[in-house]
């Protein structure tokens, strides 16, 4: 079972177990991670699960797709090259140890 470390907006570090086939957003919500709202339920339309991927993990997580990148540009605050929506990060064994800084809701 992969483990993901979320750094919540207040700096609290929470490491949670994630199920294969779920998204990082689902793992966060199931474990009560602060700052991950996921209003749209993972449909990539709200940006309330915005995170910054730790730079050491960028290659393994991969870049945002076009729709995700557009949503981040128009709806999210503090967008950086390492910005991703947690709902769009599918959990696999290769993401065991992933570190995500929770940015939370947008503007």
Share of the chain above pLDDT 90, in %: 90
Q: Which of 19, 23, 15 is nearest to 2 (CA)?
A: 19
Whether the CB-CB separation of 36 and 16 falls below 8 Å is answered with: no
**Residues 101 and 7 sit within 8 Å (Cβ to Cβ):** yes
pTM recorded for the entire structure: 0.94
> What pLDDT sits at residue 22?
97
Half-sphere exposure of 55 (CA within 13 A, CB side): 2
| 48-58 confidence digits (pLDDT tens) | 999 999 999 99
The whole-number average pLDDT for the span 8-31 is 96
pLDDT grade, residue 107 (50/70/90)?
very low
Looking only at the bridges linking them, the beta strands covering 83-85 and 3-7 are unpaired
Contacts of 104 (CB under 8 A, 6+ apart): 9, 35, 36, 37, 48, 50
> 61-93: per-residue pLDDT in tens?
999 999 999 999 998 889 999 999 999 999 999
Question: Based on the number of CB atoms within 10 Å of its own CB, is 85 exposed (0-12), middle (13-18) or buried (19 or more)?
Answer: buried
CATH number listed for the domain at residues 3-102 = 3.10.20.30
**What is the average pLDDT score of the chain?**
94
């Amino acid at each position: 079972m992969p483990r993901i470390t979320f750094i919540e907006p207040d700096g609290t570090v929470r490491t949670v177990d994630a199920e294969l086939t779920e998204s990082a957003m689902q793992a966060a919500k199931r474990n009560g991670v602060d700052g991950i709202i996921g209003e749209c339920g993972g449909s990539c339309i709200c940006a309330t699960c915005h995170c910054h991927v730790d730079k050491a993990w960028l290659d393994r997580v991969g870049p945002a797709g076009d729709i995700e990148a557009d949503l981040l540009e128009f709806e999210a605050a503090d967008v950086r090259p390492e910005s991703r929506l947690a709902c769009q990060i599918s959990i696999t064994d290769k993401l065991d140890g992933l570190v995500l800084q929770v940015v939370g809701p947008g503007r």
